[in-house]
Amino acid sequence: MYTDAIYALDKPKRLKKAALILSSGSNHVYGGAIYEYQNSFLNYLHLEDMGIFTVYDNPEKLEELYQCDSIAKK
């Protein structure tokens, strides 16, 4: 699922950081999502980049990534 929704003119006051988690059957399909993340969330909203995490062709790794506390604690 890809979600990109910026409707308001400003971000919520408590929103300071962003991370992008991508999953698919191929490693070469993330260009558009990464572009939007960098331009909308990092450049436009000036959020701190917590990283881009990709998992492809491995559902077990995706579940492991969602259970990981390291993203939330950064």
Per-residue confidence band for 72, with pLDDT thresholds at 50, 70 and 90: low
pLDDT (0 to 100) of residue 31 = 93
pLDDT (0 to 100) of residue 11 = 73
- Segment 44-73 mean pLDDT: 77
Q: Is the pLDDT of residue 48 over 60?
A: yes
- pTM of the entire predicted model: 0.70
Quick: pLDDT tens for 20-47. 988 888 888 999 999 999 998 899 889 9
Query: Which long-range contacts link 44-51 to residues 24+ away (Cβ below 8 Å)?
Result: 44/6, 45/6, 45/11, 45/15, 45/18, 47/11, 47/15, 47/16, 47/17, 47/18, 48/16, 48/17, 48/18, 49/17, 49/18, 49/19, 50/17, 50/18, 50/19, 50/74, 51/19, 51/20
